[in-house]
Amino acid sequence: MTFLDYLSQEWVELVILGRISFLIVLYAVLAATAVSVLVGIALYTNRFTPESWSRTARKGSQDTLLVASALALTVPSLALFGLLQKWVGLGATITIAALVIYGIYPILRNVVAGLNAVDPAVLEAAKGVGMGAVRRMIRVQLPLAWPVILSGLRVATLILIAIHVVGGAFGTPGYPDLLVDGLAGYGTPGGLYAVVSAVIGCVVIALVFELVFLLVKRLTTPRGIRV
Amino acid sequence: MSEAVDSVSVDEGRGGGPRTMISLQQVSKTYPKAEAPAVRELTMDVPEGDIVMLIGPSGCGKTTTLKMMNRLIEPTGGRIVLDGDDVTDVNADELRRRIGYVIQQVGLFPHLTIAANIAVVPKMLGWDRNRTAKRVDELLHLVGMEPGQYRDRYPRQLSGGQAQRVGVARGLAADPPLMLMDEPFGAIDPITRERLQDEFAGLQQQVRKTICFVTHDLTEAVKLGDKIAVFGPGGTLEQYDTPDEVLTRPANEFVAEFVGSGAAVRRLSLLELARLELDEVVISTGGAPAGNHPVVALDDAGRPERWLSVPGTDQPPPLVTVPLTGTVYDAVDVMLDAGVPLVAVVDGDGESRGALRWQTLIGDLRAKRRRP
Ligand SMILES: Nc1ncnc2c1ncn2[C@@H]1O[C@H](COP(=O)(O)OP(=O)(O)OP(=O)(O)O)[C@@H](O)[C@H]1O
Ligand SMILES: [Mg+2]
C-alpha cells in the first residue's frame, strides 16, 4: 500500500479527525482570547497595583506580570498535561485547558501592546468629549488595538496547533489520537502513514486558520485604520 | 484731529455688563509630588460670548487651567462655576459633553469617518439620526468643508489644516456654550494657520461662543482675543484685560517684558480704521483752496482717482487706498508698499471716507483714548 492508497482509503476519516482538531484549537483560542482581553485590560489600566504607587512602580509591575504570564510557555507540555490530568481528567477537555494556558501569553502581550499604542491625543479627545472609561475602551481603545490583538491571535493559533497533538497521550481525539496510534505502529507502513497524515493535517488546519484570520481581519478592521 | 477715538472694548454697548459664562474662583492645582502649585489661586471670570486668550511662557499652567475647566484635571482648591452652576463636583463626563474641547494634536478618532467623529457627542446625548446628520453637514459647511466630499472620509485622508477644522466642528457639535481650545493652530504651518485664524474669527462672528483659547503666539492672541489673560511663572495671572490694554498698559514688569518690543506694531492691528477720526480730505471742486488738507480728484464713479495736492509735498504722491474695514496695520502696510506718506480710506462703494497720514500716525495716534 502506498501513501496515496492510504490517503484515498482514509481521507473521509482524516477530514473528520481534522474537524475535531480544528474545533479543539478554535475553542482554546476563543477562550484564551476572552481571558487575555479581560486580563489585558486590567493590566493596561493597572488594576493590579494600588493607585498610591508611583508611575514607574506601576509600569514596572505591568511588565513583571506580563513576563510572569510568559513563564507558562516554558512549562514543558508533557508536564503541564500531566498536572492538568488531575483536575480535568482525560479527553478533549485536558487539551483545551492546556492550550488556553499556552495561548494566553501571546495574545495578552498583544492586547497590552495594542492598548499602549493607542495615540494619547485620541484618548485625551475621547475623555474631552465626555466618554466614560467603559465607552472609551469599547468604542475607541479596543477597536484601535484590534489589528495588533488579531496578530497575537494568529501567532497563538499556530503555537496551539503544534502543541495540541501532545494531547494524544491523554486520550484527546482528532489528529493527536491519530499521531499516537501511528507512533505505536511506527514499524508498519500504516503507522508511518498515520504520522505523516497527522503532520500534514496540522499544516492544513494552520492554513484554514490563516484563511479564517484573513477573512476576520478584512471584516473586523475598521476601514479608517486598514493599511 | 480729535482724540475721541476709542480702542476696542469688550464691555461696550451692553446694558448691565455681560453675563459670566465660566468663573474660576481661587482655583489651584498642585500636582502630586510637586513642590509648588502649577496654578495658584486663580480667579477669573469669562464673559459670555467672548474669546479669552490664555498666554504666557511655557510651563506656566495654561493647559492645566484649561483642563480644570472641563475637569480633565481636578483642581486641588477653589471652585468653578459654569453658567451659574457650581460644577466643581458634578459628574465630569456629563460636564464635558456641555463643553467643546479642541486640542493641538486634534485627536480625531482614526477608525471613524469624519461624520462619525463630529457626531460623537450628539450620539452620546441621544440625538436621533436625522438631527445628527443635519448637524454634521451644517458644521462641515461652517468650517468650510464640502459635506458631500468629506463626510465619509477618514481622518488619515485629511491634511493637518482640514483635520483641525474637523476638530473644531467636533467641538461645536452639540452646540456647547463654552469651547476650550488648547493651541488649536499651534502645529499648523504659518500660512494655513493664518487662514484658519481668519476663518475662525469669521466663524465666531456667526456662533458667538464663549471661548477659552490657549496660545503661544501673541499675534494670534491680539488678533483673535476679546480679552487676554497673561500667565506668569508659577501659575499666576499677571494681567487680564483687553488686548489693547495689555499692549499699551502692561500691568507690571513681567507683562511688559512678555509683550515685548513689538507691542506698538502689534497694536496697529487692533486699531480699526472705522473707529479712527480720519484726516479730512477735500474733494476737488475745481481749484478751490484746500487749506491744510489733501485734495483728491474723483473719477466718474465718484471714487478717488489721484491726489491733486498734499500738504508738505511739492509733487503729490500716487494715490493708494485701503478699505474702511481694515486696520491701521493694513494702512501702514499699503503705505510702506507704495512708498507714500498717506493713504485714502474708502468705504464699500469705493467712495472716500478720509485719509490716514504718516505724520498723524507717528504723532497723534499715541494720544488716542478710550471712549468714556
Ligand atoms: N500631569 C502632570 N503631572 C505633574 N506635573 C505636571 C503635569 N502636567 C503639567 N505639569 C507641570 O505643571 C506646570 C504647568 O504645566 P502646563 O502644561 O499647564 O503648562 P503650559 O502653560 O500649558 O505650558 P506650554 O505652554 O508648554 O504648553 C509645568 O511645570 C508642568 O511641568
Ligand atoms: Mg500647554
- β-partners of residue B346 are B323, B352
What pLDDT does residue B370 have? Answer: 38
Category of B123 on φ-ψ map: left (φ > 0), alpha (ψ -120 to 50) or beta: alpha
Q: Tens of pLDDT along B161-207?
A: 999 999 999 999 999 999 999 999 998 998 999 899 999 999 999 99
User: Domain count of chain A?
Assistant: 1
Q: Would A210 be classed as within a structural domain?
A: yes
Q: Would A20 be classed as within a structural domain?
A: yes
- State which of B42, B64, B65 you would mutate to test the pocket of ligand 1, scoring each by most atoms of that ligand within 8 A of its C-beta: B64
Q: Would A227 be classed as within a structural domain?
A: no
Give yes or no for A130 touching B (CB within 8 A).
yes
* pLDDT confidence band for A50 (50 / 70 / 90): confident
> Residues of B numbered 124-153 whose beta carbons fall under 8 angstroms of chain A's beta carbons: which are they?
124
Q: Which atom of ligand 1 is nearest to the CA of B231?
A: 21
Nearest CA in chain A to B33: A54
What pLDDT does residue A170 have? Answer: 92
Is the pTM higher than 0.95? The answer reads no
From A114's Cα to the closest Cα of chain B, the distance in A is 14
* Contact between chains at B107 and A122 (C-beta distance less than 8 A): yes
Instruction: Read off the C-alpha cell for B61.
Output: 499652567
Q: Would A37 be classed as within a structural domain?
A: yes
* Contact between chains at B124 and A129 (C-beta distance less than 8 A): yes
The percentage of residues in chain A with a pLDDT greater than 70, rounded to a whole number, is: 100
What pLDDT does residue B45 have? Answer: 96
Q: Would A163 be classed as within a structural domain?
A: yes
What pLDDT does residue B289 have? Answer: 57
Nearest by CB: A128 against B101, B110, B124:
B101
- β B51-55/B227-232 pair status: parallel
Q: Tens of pLDDT along B60-103?
A: 999 999 999 999 999 999 999 999 999 999 999 999 999 999 99
Phi, psi for B365 (deg, rounded to 5): -60, -30
From A67's Cα to the closest Cα of chain B, the distance in A is 30
Q: Would A208 be classed as within a structural domain?
A: yes
CATH number for position A52: 1.10.3720.10
On the question of pLDDT at B1 being above 50, the answer is no
How far apart CA B27 and CA B25 sit, in angstroms, is 5
Q: Would A44 be classed as within a structural domain?
A: yes
Average pLDDT, rounded, for chain A: 92
Which has the closest alpha carbon to B227: B209, B245, B251?
A: B245
Give yes or no for A187 touching B (CB within 8 A).
no
The three-point CA angle A51-A54-A60 to 5° equals 100
* pLDDT confidence band for B129 (50 / 70 / 90): very high
In chain B, residues with a C-beta closer than 8 Å to the C-beta of A140 are 109, 111
The three-point CA angle B47-B52-B53 to 5° equals 170
Whether this model's ipTM surpasses 0.85 comes out as yes
From A54's Cα to the closest Cα of chain B, the distance in A is 10
Give yes or no for A13 touching B (CB within 8 A).
no
Pocket of ligand 1 (CB under 6 A): B 31, 34, 38, 58-64, 216
* pLDDT confidence band for B367 (50 / 70 / 90): very low
Which has the closest alpha carbon to B175: B100, B125, B108, B116?
A: B100
Please list, residue by residue across A32-63, b when 16 or more beta carbons sit within 10 angstroms of its beta carbon and e when fewer do: bbebbbebbbebbebeebeeeeeeeeeeeebe
Domains of chain B, CATH where assigned: 13-98+177-270 (3.40.50.300), 273-370 (3.10.580.10)
In chain B, residues with a C-beta closer than 8 Å to the C-beta of A119 are 105, 107, 110
What pLDDT does residue A64 have? Answer: 87
Domain, as residue range, for A104: 3-222
What pLDDT does residue B234 have? Answer: 86
On the question of pLDDT at A65 being above 90, the answer is no
- Cα of B65 vs centre of ligand 1, distance in Å, is 10
Q: Would A83 be classed as within a structural domain?
A: yes
